[in-house]
Structure formats: structure tokens, C-alpha cells
Copies of this chain bind each other. A is one copy, B any other.
Amino acid sequence: MKKIALLGSTGSIGRQTLEVLANLGTDYKVVALTAGKNAEELEAQARKFKPAMVALHDYEAAQRLTEALADLNIRIESGDEGQVNASTWSDAELVVMAQVGFSGFLPLIAALKAGKTIALANKESLVVGGELLDRLGLLDRSRILPVDSEHSAVWQSMANAQKDEIARVYLTASGGPFFGYTREKLHEVTPEQALKHPNWQMGSKITIDSATMMNKGLEVIEAKWLFDLKLEQIEVVVHRQSIIHSMVEYIDGSIIAQLGSPDMRAPIQYALTYPERKTGLVERYNPFNSQLTFESPDRQNFPCLDLAYRAAETGGTMPAVLNGANEIAVENFLAGKITFIDIPAVIESVMTSHQTVKNYNLKDAVTADRWARQKAEEIITGCKGRMN
């Protein structure tokens, strides 16, 4: 029986992970569940999966949950500590990190330090901390199993390849709902339009990131750290159908690709069952009468992709700043406070103001993240300059 801790269980990936686990049956046991503040859903999950502990980041919500679960013998925690305790839960053999954004960073470090095997859906933690973890010798790639569909595809396409046999990696991008739009048209797109992804059912933050192509930019940085690649080895190719989830090109010209229906339950399950495969919930892809296309991304009108490459080239705290500014810009776009094309403008502006700290430590990363968020908010509310 494989024992699982799941962080971020009430988000899109978290819910789908529980759906997959329920289907996999008694070979898998949930031992810890965490969320941010959704006490109601976490209570329902706890009643169904009977973990030994649950944690909510929000203190008040955790209080309510404690009362709600009083009839069950479940340990209930809160704050950063609760998340970290779940990610290092002694009984857990596999820690699924399905949180959104920067919040995955501290639990990831803790889990790596504790020697856990991690199914990683939280790309932002590697964007922020990949360089640091690598420098500290904590980035044991054999213990980080990717859940992002693209990185799962790369992982599956690498099988037992040697690193020096890999020429390049093609990360596929759907292009999002606005592929082909002019700058004029992008001016007017609404959050509702941006939330309608053509192929994937995902949470709101990643769906907006998909529309701006920032998602692919973050994935480029994630891929760099997960697979120990040079940035020049990572190419982004627009593949509108989202059937080929990514490809690995070898030095002999051979390319291995992973394909399938666009359904996150597929890469989630692979990370859970690895090194085995098991029948699952995903509808199989029928190739007959289909057409797969590859195009170049529009780097002019979707500048987030190049901002991410630029942040990765700069290194140090810059990727944390890219990520922090993006999280705030996306929140403000969803709240109707800025337009779609303001998103890259805000991020670029924050990045330009940032004094990169090279060879950063954990505190530097946290500070850079906070600084970037505050700076982004200032730019958005017009209070520019207060921080400088």
C-alpha cells in the first residue's frame, strides 16, 4: 500500500488526484490532506479518505474545521507549519504537491530535506527555488516526479536515456484561447474569455497563465531544473490540439513524444503509480482522422514567454520576481482591475526595477517574492516609486 500526502487537495489538481486515488483503490492510502482555507471541502474529503492529519493554511478556517471534524480522530493543523508538517509527514511515501503558486515553495524544500519522493504539480516552487535547491544539493531528480502534463511527457519520453544523449526538449503549448489575436483584440479580452481554455480543464490561475503564455514560460524554467537542461535546449512549440504533451529529441535525430487526451488525470495517475502503469479514468485518444499541427509561438503579442526566458537567464532572485509579479498581475486581471495586456507590462516593469540577488538563499527568495508582489500592486494602483 502506497501512503500519500496531498497538499492543495481542494484545487483542481488536488480534486483530480483524489478522484484518481479513489479509482485506484485500496493499494493507495491518503494519510494527509491540506488546503488553503476551504474548510467545507476539506472536511468532506477528510470524511471520505480518512487521513491521519489535515491542515488548512488559514487559521480561522482551521478552527472551524477542528470543530467540524471533532467526531473523528484526525489531527488538524494550520499555517505554514501545517503545510510543512503534511509535506514531511513521516508515514507518507509520496507527497503530492498540488498547491497554486509560491505557497508550494516552503513545503517543497521541507519535503526534499526529509527525503520524500514528491509528485510535483506546483511549478512555481521550482521557478522560485530551482537554482537554490540545485546549489544546496537538494534537487534529487530521481525523487521529483512531474505532474504537469508537459513535464510528465518529457519524463515518459526520456525513459532510461542518458543526459548527454538529449539534444533538446520541445514543450508543447496549446496557445490558449487567444492564439492568433492581434494586440488590438488582446486589449479587449475579458477574464471570462481568458478562463475558457480550448483544451484543458484547469484552475483559474493556470488558465490565465495559459492565455498569456506565462504558463509555458514557467514550464520552461521548471523543465530546466527538473531535467537539468540548458535554456537553449528547451523550445516551445504551439500545438493547438494538446494531444502531443511534449517531445524529447536525441542526438541521433530521433524524437520520442508522449501523446494522449488532454486530461490531467493521466499525468497525475502516472506519478502516483510510477514505475508501474495501471488502467485509469482517462478516455483513450483515438488517432484516426485526426490532425496534429505545430506552429511558432507569437512572442510579440504574448511577451510573457520571453520574460520567463529572460528571468531564467538572469537567474538568482529574478525568477521569483517574475513569478511573484505574475501572481499579482493575474489576480488583478481576474478582479477586473487591469487589462490582459497589462499583465506582461506589469511583470516587465517589476523585473526592470529588481536588483537581482545572485547566489540567493531561502530568505532572499522569500524577500524577492514579497517585494515583487508589493511592487506589482504599487504599479497597478499607480503608487509607483514608493518602494524605491
**Chain A positions near chain B (C-beta within 8 angstroms):** 156-157, 159-162, 165, 167, 170, 237, 244, 247, 249-261, 263, 266, 269-270, 273, 276-280, 282-285, 287-296
Please determine whether B294 and A290 come into contact, CB atoms closer than 8 angstroms. Answer: yes
Please determine whether A259 and B287 come into contact, CB atoms closer than 8 angstroms. Answer: no
Which listed residue, B252, B270, B276, touches A280 by the CB 8 Å rule? B252
Q: Given A247-B287, A291-B291, decide whether A278 and B254 contact each other with a Cβ distance below 8 A.
A: no
Please determine whether B278 and A289 come into contact, CB atoms closer than 8 angstroms. Answer: no
Q: Given A276-B162, A276-B165, A287-B170, decide whether A256 and B156 contact each other with a Cβ distance below 8 A.
A: yes
Number of copies: 2
Q: How far is it, in angstroms, between the C-alpha of A292 and the C-alpha of B160 when the chains are bound?
A: 27
Q: How far is it, in angstroms, between the C-alpha of A216 and the C-alpha of B157 when the chains are bound?
A: 25
Q: Which residues of B contact A280 (CB under 8 A)?
A: 252-253
Q: Which residues of B contact A170 (CB under 8 A)?
A: 287
Q: How far is it, in angstroms, between the C-alpha of A266 and the C-alpha of B266 when the chains are bound?
A: 31
Please determine whether B160 and A285 come into contact, CB atoms closer than 8 angstroms. Answer: no
- CB proximity of A46 to chain B, nearest CB, Å: 28
Please determine whether B288 and A294 come into contact, CB atoms closer than 8 angstroms. Answer: yes
Which listed residue, B156, B291, B295, touches A289 by the CB 8 Å rule? B295
Q: Which residues of B contact A282 (CB under 8 A)?
A: 252-253
Name the 4 nearest CB pairs between A and B, nearest first.
A159-B159, A255-B259, A253-B282, A287-B294
- CB proximity of A160 to chain B, nearest CB, Å: 6
Q: Which residues of B contact A167 (CB under 8 A)?
A: 284
Please determine whether A284 and B159 come into contact, CB atoms closer than 8 angstroms. Answer: no
Closest to A170 in B: B287
Please determine whether B237 and A251 come into contact, CB atoms closer than 8 angstroms. Answer: no
Please determine whether A257 and B259 come into contact, CB atoms closer than 8 angstroms. Answer: yes
Q: Which residues of B contact A295 (CB under 8 A)?
A: 288-289
Closest to A275 in B: B160
Which listed residue, B278, B285, B294, touches A255 by the CB 8 Å rule? B285
Which listed residue, B252, B254, B284, touches A253 by the CB 8 Å rule? B284
Please determine whether B253 and A266 come into contact, CB atoms closer than 8 angstroms. Answer: yes
Which listed residue, B258, B269, B292, touches A291 by the CB 8 Å rule? B292
Cross-chain pairs A/B with CB under 8 angstroms, 28 sampled? A156-B256, A159-B160, A160-B160, A161-B277, A162-B276, A162-B277, A165-B276, A167-B284, A237-B287, A237-B288, A251-B278, A252-B266, A252-B269, A252-B273, A252-B282, A253-B282, A253-B283, A253-B285, A255-B260, A256-B257, A256-B258, A288-B295, A288-B296, A289-B294, A289-B295, A289-B296, A290-B294, A292-B293
Q: Which residues of B contact A296 (CB under 8 A)?
A: 288-289
Q: Which residues of B contact A266 (CB under 8 A)?
A: 252-254
Please determine whether B291 and A277 come into contact, CB atoms closer than 8 angstroms. Answer: no
Please determine whether B254 and A270 come into contact, CB atoms closer than 8 angstroms. Answer: yes
Given A253-B263, A257-B259, A291-B292, 6 more A-B residue pairs with CB atoms under 8 Å apart are A162-B276, A237-B287, A252-B273, A253-B266, A253-B280, A257-B258
Q: Which residues of B contact A249 (CB under 8 A)?
A: 284
Q: Which residues of B contact A157 (CB under 8 A)?
A: 256
- CB proximity of A244 to chain B, nearest CB, Å: 8
Please determine whether B237 and A250 come into contact, CB atoms closer than 8 angstroms. Answer: no
Please determine whether B247 and A259 come into contact, CB atoms closer than 8 angstroms. Answer: yes
Q: How far is it, in angstroms, between the C-alpha of A282 and the C-alpha of B253 when the chains are bound?
A: 6
**Which of A162, A258, A279, A284 is the most central at the interface, judged by chain B CB atoms within 10 Å of its CB?**
A284
Q: Which residues of B contact A278 (CB under 8 A)?
A: 251-252
Closest to A279 in B: B251
Closest to A294 in B: B287
